[in-house]
Amino acid sequence: MKTDYKTGGKAMKAIIIAFTVLTLALCCLSITGCGYCAHELKVKDEKVASTCVEHGHSYTYECKKCKKLFAYTLDKGLYEVSEAEELPLSAEHTLPEVDEEHPENFPLGIRLKEGKTAAESVLDYEITTKCTLCQKEFAIEDKNLAAVVPLENKVSENTNTRRTYSGVRMQDEATGRWYTDIQFYKATRPTDVTELKPFAKITEGGDLGWVSSDGAYQRLPLYVPFNKNQTRHVVYIVHNSDAAATVNLEWSIDGKRYATVTVAPGEYKPLVVYGLKDWDCNVDSQFFRVSTAAGGATLGSNIKMEMTGFLYTSGTVDKLDIDSQPTKTEYKVGETFDSAGLRIYATYSDYCLGKTVNLAECKFSTDGRTLTENDDRVTISYGGKKVSVPITVVKEGA
């Protein structure tokens, strides 16, 4: 039937090719046929991925001739099944979405990292949210977070004769994470609004300075960028390291909405702040007010606190760039890759959001294995993107 062949030609060809591939796969895997030369398979059930609450199932193939069902895995190859094979529940949870009408409902919190029974530092906590499917609390992945470290102070207009705040950026050696050592000064009044003005720190250069020219991107410490008309959430982890006073801290990332936390001496608490700007904003001031639970016209004595923060993003990583090549690029066969000196910068789909990636959160193509003569690069993956660094590997004595 010439006409039939012409009209259905393309689809037919595709099907024939698909069958051929499957038949070949079968032959290669030496599965016994059904009286013919081999089974002739077609997809019966498409794969359905599991979620954290519902089992999915794998692909199921049906033989056109004998009607038997088959499944396929890399490990086992093709094998006969009686029905679609159930897949285990997914360990991955589903991030909630921000309701722009009620951004205050977006669930964010903190909890001690696995293996910790008590905190020694704000860095012992991780940021959590609630799965939309199973309602369980789970740690937000690193790719959805960017560190915010409140640093420099500029005392607001009404307090320009008194200093209210100083922040010193600290780095934890073990993790490379940042936090701020804070001192609130004793003459600060409950009504004082202190403005943390990033532009005051514009002269800070080097690796950790941020780039303001053209508003292209930032380096750590990250100030809070906004996508126009999209609520931004930040979770600060606050530790009252002061001996005596219980502290009330009110914080704002947009100058309009304040979140409040009360922290007793020694306590660690989350401070969940959200804000909104009606313009794409790469960097802007943050604001706070501070007082003691005991009251009084001023703080009365200097108060010490520690803070670190994370900005939440539902945005995706757009690209990875190598900021700095690893120190060691020449290897002998049998050595393992050393990432020392390597610095990777991730640019996000959010306006002006980017960050230096923590290498501990990256996947390396060499993944701890020893190098061979065939290795001429190492590929690093983060947030669904990849980037490579060149290396050379030579035989010992070559």
Q: Based on CB atoms, which residue is closest to Zn ion, 135 or 229?
A: 135
Q: Are 271 and 310 in contact (CB under 8 A)?
A: no
Q: Are 107 and 132 in contact (CB under 8 A)?
A: no
Gap between the Cα atoms of 361 and 177, Å rounded: 12
By CB under 5 A, the count of residues binding Zn ion is 10
Q: Which span sits near Zn ion by CB under 5 A: 42-50, 74-82, 85-93, 376-384?
A: 85-93
Gap between the Cα atoms of 375 and 182, Å rounded: 47
Within 15-34, the residues that bind Zn ion by CB under 5 A are 34
Residue choice 22, 26, 39, 145 for contact with Zn ion (CB under 5 A): 39
Report the amino acid identity of residue 108.
L
Shortest distance, CB of residue 44 to Zn ion, whole angstroms?
13
Q: What is the DSSP letter of 38?
A: S
- 3-state DSSP call for residue 339? coil
Q: Which span sits near Zn ion by CB under 5 A: 88-96, 113-121, 174-182, 374-382?
A: 88-96
Would you say how long the chain is, in residues?
Answer: 398
Give the residues across from 354 on adjacent strands.
347
From residue 206, alpha-carbon distances to 193, 216, 320, 321, 359 in Å are 30, 16, 20, 17, 19
Gap between the Cα atoms of 195 and 152, Å rounded: 9
Shortest distance, CB of residue 94 to Zn ion, whole angstroms?
6
From residue 247, alpha-carbon distances to 77, 149, 236, 302 in Å are 62, 20, 15, 11
- 3-state DSSP call for residue 199? helix
Q: Among all chains, which residue has been given the structure tokens 């359905």?
A: 48
Q: Which span sits near Zn ion by CB under 5 A: 38-46, 246-254, 307-315, 320-328?
A: 38-46
Shortest distance, CB of residue 36 to Zn ion, whole angstroms?
7
Within 165-204, the residues that bind Zn ion by CB under 5 A are none
* Residue 257 binding Zn ion, by CB under 5 A: no
Q: Based on CB atoms, which residue is closest to Zn ion, 24 or 66?
A: 66
Within 371-390, the residues that bind Zn ion by CB under 5 A are none
Within 44-73, the residues that bind Zn ion by CB under 5 A are 52, 63, 65-66
Give the residues across from 236 on adjacent strands.
271, 309
Shortest distance, CB of residue 90 to Zn ion, whole angstroms?
8
Q: Based on CB atoms, which residue is closest to Zn ion, 126 or 306?
A: 126
Q: Based on CB atoms, which residue is closest to Zn ion, 134 or 389?
A: 134
Within 91-150, the residues that bind Zn ion by CB under 5 A are 93, 131, 133-134
Gap between the Cα atoms of 352 and 283, Å rounded: 9
Q: Based on CB atoms, which residue is closest to Zn ion, 65 or 163?
A: 65
Q: Based on CB atoms, which residue is closest to Zn ion, 93 or 143?
A: 93
String of contacts with Zn ion for each residue 220-239, x by CB under 5 A:
--------------------
Footprint on this chain of Zn ion (rule: CB under 5 A): 34, 39, 52, 63, 65-66, 93, 131, 133-134
